[in-house]
Amino acid sequence: MGQLTGGDPSLLRRINSAVVLRALRGAQSPTLTDLTRVTGLSRPTVEGVVEGLVNTGLVVEEPAAEGSARRQGRPARRYRFRAEAGYLLGIEIGSHRVSALLSGLDGRIIGAGSKEVSESAPSDERLDKARATVADLLRRAGVPRDSLRAVGVGSPGIVEADGRVRLGTALPGWTGLALGERLRRSFRCPVLVENDANAAAVAEHWKGSATDSDDVVFVLAGLSPGAGSLIGGRLHRGFGGAAGEIGALHLLGRGATPETLLSTTDEPLHPLDEKAVAEVFALAREGDEHAVAAVERFIQRLVHDVAALVLAMDPELVVVGGWAAGLDGVLEPLRRELERYCLRPPRVAQSLLGEAAVATGALRLALDHVEEQLFAVEKTVTARR
């Protein structure tokens, strides 16, 4: 049984503060009277909380609008949440590209940048590209580095809680890399590292295909698919951060390896050679016999992997992203086969965020971190068995 201590008056103050801050963020320059009405708190409580929030710089009194003076007395003071009180970054470190998104404390994106990187680049070079991408972005946006409050990073591989990559075969030198620690040297704020498919799942739930569902499996479809899951709106990382790494399942059968799966010759394809894969799909559309067979193998494998995830997790919705999602003829067979084999087939949708999914999810994780501090209620008062 977890510890649960008796009623704590400072807890009440924190709840009230979080309630007022939420109301401030949700409303258009509310007055103290508005806040009293929305929160159900007493006027003196709201006044005290707002004064405290103004002192921290998170809230500011709005200047009175022209002509808003009431007939009698001065106009009621209006307040607003200062999204510019701090900034957040979402970074994707990918095999071909490093990209970054910048937002204020409201999560609205105010800048973006990216740089190409070779799939064979060593980890130092890849990290340098990430740093350079961020430096460019901050300079262009005129945002000083020390106003960053949190940085989220999405990366391939199994990522430990401290940001170390436990296993990352997709990128050279990635397994064992202390990714979080290395990036923390460039920032004075928390740096949160997350598996790329996990980050993409969070992103689709935030502003993509999954905004209306809390039970989602996001599939990063490629030659070796990965997946991220939300259960009840929360990211399911698994005990060791390896949940959804379904790519190894085919090793148990006598099926093709990822490299031979889509090959139309005896030569294996490089798992990250998206261009060669796209060519196989193009050949298949033209009716090339070997290519058609290869595409069928690829889709069968994807269906099998996704079915395993769906049977294990029973999500409401499957979102398919990654480069393979853009290829013709992937989504329909997937939908049809899941209908056939799953006891309760989920909806299947394509990623809305596409290439931006991982960086967007990384940004959301940074925002989550900051909001947990601003609205730190949940963790404190939840009694767990």
Residues that bind a second copy (CB under 8 A): 1, 4-7, 12, 15-16, 18-19, 22, 26, 39-41, 45, 158, 166-167, 215, 227, 229, 231, 233, 236-246, 248-249, 251-253, 300, 303-304, 307-309, 311-316, 337, 341-344, 346, 371, 375, 377-378, 381-385
Q: Which residue lies nearer to a second copy by CB, 118 or 380?
A: 380
Dmax over CA atoms of the chain, in Å, equals 87
Minimum distance of a second copy from residue 274's CB (angstroms)? 23
Nearest-angstrom CA–CA distance, 32 and 362: 35
Q: Where are the alpha helices (DSSP H) in the chain?
A: 9-26, 32-39, 43-56, 123-141, 179-184, 196-207, 258-261, 274-285, 289-313, 331-341, 357-374, 378-381
Minimum distance of a second copy from residue 72's CB (angstroms)? 30
Q: Which residue lies nearer to a second copy by CB, 113 or 163?
A: 163
Q: Which residue lies nearer to a second copy by CB, 16 or 114?
A: 16
Minimum distance of a second copy from residue 269's CB (angstroms)? 22
Region of 67 (left: φ > 0; alpha: ψ -120 to 50; beta: rest) is left
**Vertex 334: Cα angle to 333 and 339 (nearest 5):** 95
Instruction: Give just the sign of the alpha carbon dihedral 115, 135, 368, 208.
Output: negative
Q: Which residue lies nearer to a second copy by CB, 52 or 238?
A: 238
Nearest-angstrom CA–CA distance, 63 and 68: 11
The rounded Cα 132 to chain-centroid distance in angstroms is 22
Q: What is the dihedral of CA 235, 240, 244, 246, to 10 degrees?
A: 180
Q: Which residue lies nearer to a second copy by CB, 79 or 112?
A: 79
Taking CA atoms, 25 is separated from 19, 111, 203, 291, 364, in Å, by 10, 21, 21, 53, 16
Q: Which residue lies nearer to a second copy by CB, 112 or 303?
A: 303
Nearest-angstrom CA–CA distance, 116 and 118: 7
* Euclidean distance between the first and the last CA atom of the chain, given in angstroms as a whole number: 5
Q: Which residue lies nearer to a second copy by CB, 145 or 304?
A: 304
Minimum distance of a second copy from residue 40's CB (angstroms)? 5
Nearest-angstrom CA–CA distance, 43 and 40: 9
Minimum distance of a second copy from residue 71's CB (angstroms)? 33
Q: Which residue lies nearer to a second copy by CB, 45 or 114?
A: 45
Minimum distance of a second copy from residue 123's CB (angstroms)? 19
The amino acid sitting at 92 is: E
Which residue is associated with the tokens 């990211």?
235
Q: Which residue lies nearer to a second copy by CB, 40 or 144?
A: 40
Minimum distance of a second copy from residue 375's CB (angstroms)? 7
What proportions of the chain, in percent to the nearest 5, are helix, strand and coil?
45, 20, 35
Return the exposure string of 206-230: e unless at least 16 CB atoms fall within 10 Å of the residue's CB, then b. Answer: bbbbbeebebbbbbbbbbbbbbbbb
Minimum distance of a second copy from residue 297's CB (angstroms)? 13
Minimum distance of a second copy from residue 378's CB (angstroms)? 5
- On whether the CB atoms of residues 360 and 203 are closer than 8 A, the answer is yes
**HSE-up of 60 (CA within 13 Å, CB side)?**
8
Q: Which residue lies nearer to a second copy by CB, 115 or 304?
A: 304
Minimum distance of a second copy from residue 295's CB (angstroms)? 17
